[in-house]
Amino acid sequence: MRLELWWSEVAAVSAGTETRLSDRRLAVGLDGLTATLAADPRLDRVRIDLAHPGESCRIGRVFDVFAPRAKEEGGADFPGALGPLGRAGQGRTRALAGVAVVVTDQQLADPATLAVIDMSGPVATLSAFARTANVVISAWPAASVGRSEYLAALRQAGLRAAVHLAQAARAAPPDTLEVFDLPAPTRVPAALAGVPRVVYVFQIHSHQRPTAADEGVLYGDPVRRMLPTLVHPNEILDGAVIRGFMGRGVTTWATQNHPVIRELYARHGRTLWFAGVVLTVAHATEPERIRSAAMAAGLVVDVLGADGAVFTKIGGGAPHVDMAQTAAQCEARGVKTALIVEDMSTDGSQEGMLLFNFPGLDALVNTGSAQERVTLPPVERVIGAEGPAGEATVSYGQICGAIEQVGATCLTSRLQ
Amino acid sequence: MSALRVVVYLNQFFGQIGGEERAGVGPRAFPGPAGAARAVQQALGDAGRVVATVVSGDNHVAEAPEAAVAAILALVAAEQPDLVVAGPAFLAGRYGVACGAVCEAVESRLGVPAVTGMHAENPGVALYRRRAHIVATGADGARMLDEARRLVALGLKRARREPVGSPAEEGYFPRGVTRNTRASANAAQRATAMLLDKLAGRPVTSEVPLPDFPRVAAPPAVRDLGHAVVALVTDGGIVPVGNPDGLEPLAATRFGAYPIGGRGALDPGQYDNVHRGYDTTFVKQDPHRLVPVDVARELEREGAIGKLHETVYSTTGVATTLANSERMGREIAAQLRAARVDAVILTST
Amino acid sequence: MTPVAVMVGANRIVQAAGIIHPLGNADLPPEEEKALRRRIVERALAALRTEVVQPTVFGAGADH
């Protein structure tokens, strides 16, 4: 399956009468886009702000971040979630580099659990979103709209805006072109038979918080009792998976720009053969966890014939166990594993870092401690929230884009 | 940069008071660098001035550590130091333990950075490496000046509030604490590289060491449940409406003890749930899904258990530190013991 | 979460019915749910009556 990403670079974003990209400057027709998004009956009022890298600006109440993408050929935008159902991952997709759609949550009474983005200052280097021009959408719920209805509406707004912006790129040739072309895992040329076959096991949701009926994750499906399944990596790069409502250390942006998939593609055909992607969910009951671990390991070992596998998880602490059980079964069958975990310690102690202890799981990478605190300086401007313009002490987990559980970030917890 | 005020702590031998026969001497302070503190002053150069040397006998500290450390602390505090250097203690066990205790007290009670040094096999390392910065040294003073330099280098960084490097870089024993830093590649790149190394049989250094929890001896089985008192405990965050004890929704430091007063069932209208780590809808609808009082009463009536203990214990098991978990477990156990409870059913979410 | 319990050294571990309702199941009618709860608690009593020397999981068997 072959996917082409046609990238257009954006150096600056500004407000304009209509959305247009020319000479690396993206003008956003704010009135038009606002009206389009506000037409959703679940929303009462929509406001769009722009935030630029280097500004003394804090974006508060962040719900999720979306990467601008628009299909030009070969399928619908975010099939099943926004566009009509079909497969993602082939044909041609337009993408904007240097721009992100940030959606804020204006319903939750206490913003303490929501994330922030600082466009400058000491933590700006940690987050990709301090380096993108951000189109920040704040939308208020219509009267008597419940929580999951509102969050579903927010996601729709984010996806619509992401498509709208990327469509501006279609007017001109792209700046760069990326080709993702991977044959089925059975079609390995003889010359590459000796290279290790590597699979990525992608945990896409954790049912510690069961999905709502309108909380689509995979092609719009809420993956409620999802058994392990296989997808082609292009499907993930082309919008088949979006993040659920719980945003702990994951953005849809990072999923769209999936770093493990991109890294395995970069090495494919040279130091490894990218043999496929297994999708799993983390379960809330032990029998489901055991079944899923056995089936996922089965897909890795017996169906895809992997020599090694990279694992990521989503959600909080318990999903580490789902991931570890699957990986332990792979190791028991001779398949080597590397896992990306979080430092779960709440007191900075070594013992508290990990929630599992399976022998053989000796190749662990960590995405840092979400609990560790850091102080943010005062800023001149706040978007998406009332205050906090002053100094604020937050946890690293509250800085949107500082910790991405799919492995997009450089923060790591080091033992001292 | 003005010279830092440094106090050095030494035992009776390195303080040049005497040998083993003077190990009982109590703490005293000498102005400037006395005895082996001169090596520290030499290592400091212009960066610092040893304003006093505090000396105490090894036995004096070993026999009554709390009183001795308090007295040493008073002498140290009087000098208003920016940094305290203790030892190095090499392989001398009592001395190493004393150095560790002094460093920990100086940091926690005076808020002053402290460093010490000793050999890896000194018992002070196992006892204090997590609570003090201990630089690795040789077995004796053969390379005293070199080792004083390493001690001083680490001490100066800490005194100046500069970031301290990894144990390997600075030469101290790993303290078992973690800190966020920036790697040069993202986690996906690091994981892929680590996997390829593992596949090729190359050595791999995991970014997280596997935990090693001590074994807990299993208590003997309950012989006669029909005469046993059984208590219900949970970490699922159940609280009476209004959360009177202020049970925290995350990182709990306390637990609640809630009487059920002979009742056969829990009334959902009287209970709430503060736990932030799972969807509490179902256990709020019916608290028995977390604390099985209804079934336990039946079993009590039928004689399957002797008695259901009339107090339910509850805390919140999300982001709880290991230290607080252990403490709360001990405290709850003590209360249950005092109430002659024989067994516990703990429901965990 | 039984593997966590094993890891930290709990000696008698009974598998319950899930994180969000360890001793229940909202999909079942009330009498069946209570019967499920009773089965799990009885398994806990059986564990209390059993001598163990190390972390032991008393499994769910045919409950699910």
Interface of B with A in 195-214 (CB under 8 A): 195-199, 204, 206-213
Reading the block at residue B204, the tokens are: 């791999």
**Residues of B with Cβ-Cβ distance to A412 under 8 angstroms:** 180-183, 187, 190, 207
The C-alpha atoms of residue A395 and residue A414 are separated, in whole angstroms, by 17
- Binary contact (B221, C44; C-beta < 8 A): no
Cα Rg of chain B, angstroms: 27
| Alpha-carbon torsion (C28, C31, C37, C42), positive or negative | negative
8 Å CB contact of A318 and C17: no
**Mutate: best of A366, A396, A404, A409, partner B, most B CBs <10 A:** A366
Q: How many domains does chain A contain in total?
A: 2
In sequence order, which ranges of B144-277 are alpha helices (DSSP H)? 144-159, 167-170, 187-199
Compute the distance between CA of residue A79 and CA of residue A71 in angstroms, rounded to an integer.
Answer: 10
Burial status of residue B9 (CB atoms within 10 A of its CB: 0-12, 13-18, 19 or more): buried
Distance from CA of B113 to the nearest CA of A (A): 16
**CA angle, residues B170, B175, B177, in degrees to nearest 5:** 110
For chain B, where are the alpha helices, taking DSSP H only? 37-44, 58-63, 65-78, 93-105, 123-128, 144-159, 167-170, 187-199, 281-285, 293-302, 322-338
Q: CB C19 to CB A287 under 8 A?
A: no
Based on the fold, state whether residues A23 and A163 are members of the same structural domain: yes
Specify the residue for token string 């201990």.
Answer: B134
Residues 24-53 of chain C with CB under 8 A from chain B are 24, 26, 33-34, 37-38, 40-42, 44-45, 48-53
Helix (H) or strand (E) holding B272: strand B271-273
Start-to-end Cα distance in chain B:
55
Residue B150 DSSP SS3: helix
Both A276 and A320 in one domain: the answer is yes
Q: Which domain holds residue A76?
A: 2-176
Disruptive mutation site among C1, C2, C23 for chain B (greatest number of B CBs within 10 Å): C23
Q: According to the model, what pLDDT value does residue A191 have?
A: 87
Which residue, chain included where needed, has tokens 């219900």? Answer: B232
- A193 and A171 within one domain: no
B320 touches chain A (CB under 8 A): yes
Query: Residue A96 is which amino acid?
Result: L
For residue A376, tell me if it sits in a domain.
no
Number of residues written out for chain C: 64
The chain B residue lying nearest C16, using CA atoms, is B347
Tell whether A154 and A279 lie within a shared domain: no
| CATH class label, B4-170 | alpha beta
- From CA B294, how far away is CA B287, in angstroms rounded? 10
Cis check for the bond before B88: say yes or no (omega within 30 of 0): yes
> How many contacts, defined by CB atoms under 8 Å, are there between B and C?
94
Spell out the per-residue pLDDT of chain B, length 349, in tens. 678 999 999 999 999 999 888 999 999 999 999 999 999 999 999 999 999 999 999 999 988 889 999 999 999 999 999 999 999 999 998 999 999 999 999 999 999 999 999 999 888 998 899 899 999 999 888 888 888 999 999 999 999 999 888 888 899 998 888 889 999 999 999 999 999 999 999 999 999 987 777 778 899 999 999 999 999 999 999 999 999 999 999 889 999 999 998 899 999 999 999 998 788 999 999 999 999 999 999 999 999 999 999 999 999 988 787 778 889 999 999 999 999 999 999 999 8
The answer to whether A357 faces chain C, any CB pair under 8 Å, is: yes
User: Is the confidence at residue A388, as pLDDT, over 70?
Assistant: no
Token pair for residue A268? 């494919």
Q: What share of chain A is helix, strand, coil (3-state, %, to 5)?
A: 25, 35, 40
Count the Cβ atoms, other than its own, within 10 Å of residue A122: 11
- Do A152 and A233 lie in one domain? The reply is no
Give the C-alpha separation, B155 to B95, whole Å. Answer: 19
- Are the beta carbons of B61 and B94 closer than 8 angstroms? yes
Q: Report the distance separating Cα A302 and Cα A305, nearest Å.
A: 5
Q: Do A306 and A193 share a domain, yes or no?
A: yes
Do A154 and A222 sit in the same domain of this protein? Answer: no
Structure tokens at A241: 């998976």
Whether C60 and A287 lie within 8 Å, measured CB to CB = yes
DSSP per residue, A255-301: HHT-HHHHHHHHHBTTTBEEEEEEEEEE-SSHHHHHHHHHHHHHIII
What's the DSSP call for residue A24?
T
Instruction: Name the domain boundary from A176, A203, A230.
Output: A176
Residue with tokens 């199941």: C25
Dig out the tokens for B306 from the structure.
């002797």
Contact C23 B236 (CB under 8 A): no
For residues A363 and B204, give the distance between their C-alpha atoms in angstroms, rounded to a whole number. 7
Q: Is the CB of residue B180 less than 8 Å away from at least one CB of chain A?
A: yes
pLDDT of residue B310: 96
How far apart are the CA of C62 and the nearest CA of chain B, in angstroms? 20
Give yes or no: residues A155 and A271 share one domain.
no
DSSP β-ladder status, A12-16 and A25-29 = parallel
pLDDT of residue C63: 42
Query: Which residue among A125, A151, A176 closes a domain?
Result: A176
CA distance C61 to chain B (A): 19
pLDDT-above-70 percentage for chain A: 100
Partner A contacted by B322 (CB < 8 A): yes
Distance from CA of C34 to the nearest CA of B (A): 8
In whole angstroms, what is the distance from residue A313 CA to residue C18 CA? 19
CB contact under 8 A, A366 and B207: yes
